[in-house]
Structure 1
Amino acid sequence: MAIALSTLVEEADRYLTAARIQDYCPNGLQVEGRPQVRRIVSGVTASQALLDAAVEADADVVLVHHGYFWKNENPCVVGIKQRRLKTLLNHDISLLAYHLPLDVHPEVGNNVQLARVLDLIVEGPLEPDNPRSVGLVGALAEPLAPRDFARRVHEALGREPLLIDGEGPIRRIAWCTGAAQGYIDQAVAAGVDAYLTGEVSEPTVHAARENGISFIAAGHHATERYGVQALGDYLARRFAIEHLFVDCPNPV
C-alpha cells in the first residue's frame, strides 16, 4: 500500500505539534522526494551511512531526529552536505526530520521512550514552569546503588556509560537525552539522586560531585535511538506502510 507524501508529512507534523515548537532547525519535510510513500527508513542522524542504507532498502522516506540546515551552519552546498543531498535527490528520497518535537512528545518522544527502556517511572517535567521543558523527572521502582543502575543502562542500551558515583542509592532521577549535560543544575534543583543524559563536559563532573548526586552519560546516539523508532512505527501502523529502523553505530 502507498500513501501520498503530503499526507504522511501532515500527520507527522500534527502528531508532534511541530509548528508550535521553536527550534534550531526546520522540523518536518527538509528534502522532497517522490510523491508516494511505501517504505520509511528511520535512524538517529541523516548521515551518509543511513542514506546509503535507505537507498539499499529502496526507501521512499528517510525519517530522522538529526536532520540538516541547522542555525549558524555554513549554508553552502559543498563537501558532505553536497554528497548527502545528492544521494537523496538522485534517488528521489524524501528527508523528514524532527528535533525538539521528537524530544518532548509524551508518547513517542525520546525522553519518555528512554524511560520505558530503562524502566523509569515518569513523574513530570524537569522544569515544571517551562512549557518547552525537554527533560523529565521520575523514580526507580526500587532504589539501586549507582553502579547497579549504570549496569542496567549498559545492558539496556548496549553501551557502557560514564558514571560519576554519588555513592548514595538512587531513588529519584532526572534525565534528558542527547547533549543535555547543561541541565544538571535543574536536576540538582529538582532534588534528585541522579541525572542521566547522553554527553558529558568537564564542568559537569564537578557539578555532580560538589552537589552530591550521581551523573550518568549514556551516549547521545544511544539515548536517542528510541523516539524515531516509535514515530516510524506509529506512522507505519497509521498508514499500513513499511518501516525499517537502521542503527548506524556511533560511540558518542
Structure 2
Amino acid sequence: MSTTRQDLLQAFDALLQPARFKDYGPNGLQVEGKPEVRRIISGVTASLALIEAAVAAQADAVFVHHGLFWRGQDGRVTGWMKQRLALLLAHDINLYAYHLPLDAHPELGNNAQLGLQLGLTASGRFGEQDLGFMGTRTSGDGFTDAAALAAHVQQVLGRAVIHAGPAQRAIHNIAWCTGGAQGYFEAAIAAGADAFITGEISEPQAHYAREMGVAFIACGHHASERYGAPAVAGRVAAQLGLAHEFIDIDNPA
C-alpha cells in the first residue's frame, strides 16, 4: 500500500500536534521528496549515515527526532549540510522531523518510551512546556539507593552512565526528560524528585546534585532518545498500511 506525502504529514501532525509547542526548529516536512510514499525509515538523527541507509533500503521517507534545520544556524548549504541535502534530493526522499512534539507525546514520545524501557510509570509533568515526566517504578517498589537506579539504567540502555550526587539515598520519586534536558534539573528538584534521569550533564548539575541531595543520572543523549521515533513512525505506518523499519545509527554522545 501507499499514501501521499501530504497525507503522511497530516497523520504525523495529527498524532504529535506540533502547533502546541514553541520549538527550536521547524517540525513536519523539512525536505520534500516524491509525492507517493510506500516505505518509511525512522531514526534518531538525520545524519548522512542514516540517509545512506534509507537510500539502501529504498525508502520514500525518513522520520527523525533531530532534523536538519535549527534556529540560529548558518543558512549556507555547504559541507555536511550540502552532503545530506544532496543525497536526499538525489533520491527524492522526504524528510520528516519532529523535535519537542516527539519528546512530549504521552504514549509514544521519547519520554514515555524511555519510561517504558526503564519500568517507570508517569504520574505527572514538570518543567517548561510540561516536557519533563515525574513518576515511580511500575512495580511499585522504589530503588534501594541511587546507585541501584544508576545500575538499572545502565543495564537497560546498554551503555555507561554518569551518576552525580548521593549514592545511598533511597529512590522513590523519579523525574526524567530525554536528550539535552540538564537544564530541567532544578525544576525536577522543585517537583519533589529523589533522582533525575536525562541524556546529558553540564558542569553546574554535579554541584546541584551534591548540594540538594538529589541524584542526577546522565545516560547519553542518543541512548535516551532511541525509542520515540520508531514508536511514532511504526504507529503511523501501521495506520496507513506502509512498510517501516527503524535504523539505529550508533552515537556515543
Range class of TM-score, shorter chain: over 0.9
Secondary structure, counterpart of 2:42 in structure 1: strand
Which amino acid is 1:185 matched to?
E
CA RMSD of aligned residues (A): 1.0
Query: 1:40: how far off?
Result: 0.5
1:184-199 → structure 2 map (5 Å cutoff)? 184-199=185-200
Would the aligned equivalents of 2:194 and 2:214 in 1 still touch at CA under 8 Å? yes
Superposition deviation, residue 63 in structure 1:
0.4
Aligned to 1:133: 130
Alpha-carbon contact 2:110-2:228 (below 8 Å) kept: yes
Take 1:73 and 1:161, find their aligned partners in 2: how far apart are those partners? 30
Amino acid across the alignment from 1:135: G
| TM-score, structure 1 as length reference | 0.96
Which residue pairs with 1:41 in the alignment? 41
Q: How far has the Cα of 1:165 moved from its partner?
A: 4.2
1:182 Cα shift?
Answer: 1.0
Q: Deviations over 1:141-164 (max 9, x none)?
A: 212122221121112111111112
- SS of match in other structure, 1:96: strand
Partner of 1:115: 115
1:165-244 paired onto structure 2 within 5 Å:
165-166=165-166, 167-244=168-245
Question: How many equivalent residue pairs?
Answer: 249
Name the counterpart of 1:19: 19
Q: Deviations over 1:153-209 (max 9, x none)?
A: 112111111112422011111111000111111111112110110000011100001
User: Could you give the per-residue CA deviations for residues 113-163 of structure 1, whole angstroms, max 9, x where no partner exists?
Assistant: 111010112110024xx5x11111111221212222112111211111111
- Per the alignment, residue 82 of structure 1 pairs with 82
16-25 vs 226-235, greater mean Cα deviation: 16-25
Shift of 1:5: 1.1
Shift of 1:212: 0.3
**TM-score in terms of structure 2 length:** 0.96
Can you give the 5+ residue segments of structure 1 that lack an aligned partner in the other structure?
A: none
Residue of structure 1 equivalent to 2:68: 68
Aligned residue runs from structure 1 range 145-160, under 5 A: 145-160=145-160
Using the alignment, how far apart are the partners of 2:175 and 2:212 within structure 1?
14
Identity of aligned residues (%): 49
Question: Contact 1:45 / 1:64 at 8 angstroms: preserved in 2?
Answer: yes
Amino acid at match of 1:250: N
8 Å CA contact 1:147–1:165 kept in 2: the answer is no
Unaligned residue ranges in structure 2 (runs of 5+): none
Q: Aligned partner of 2:142: which letter?
A: P
State the SS of the aligned residue for 1:136. strand
- Aligned equivalents of 1:73 and 1:183: distance in 2? 24
Q: Which of 135-144 and 200-209 deviates more?
A: 135-144
| Structure 2: distance between partners of 1:191 and 1:9 | 38
Corresponding position of 1:55: 55
Q: Amino acid of the residue matched to residue 135 of structure 2?
A: G
Q: CA deviation at 1:22?
A: 1.7
Letter in 1 for 2:90: N
Question: Relative to structure 2, which stretch is displaced further, 13-22 or 42-51?
Answer: 13-22
**1:162 match:** 162
1:99 matches 2:96: no
Q: How far has the Cα of 1:45 moved from its partner?
A: 0.4
User: 2:25–2:70: 8 Å Cα contact kept in structure 1?
Assistant: yes
Structure 2: distance between partners of 1:186 and 1:86: 42
| Residue identity opposite 1:14 in structure 2 | A
Supply the distance in 2 between the matched residues of 1:202 and 1:20 (Cα, whole angstroms).
31
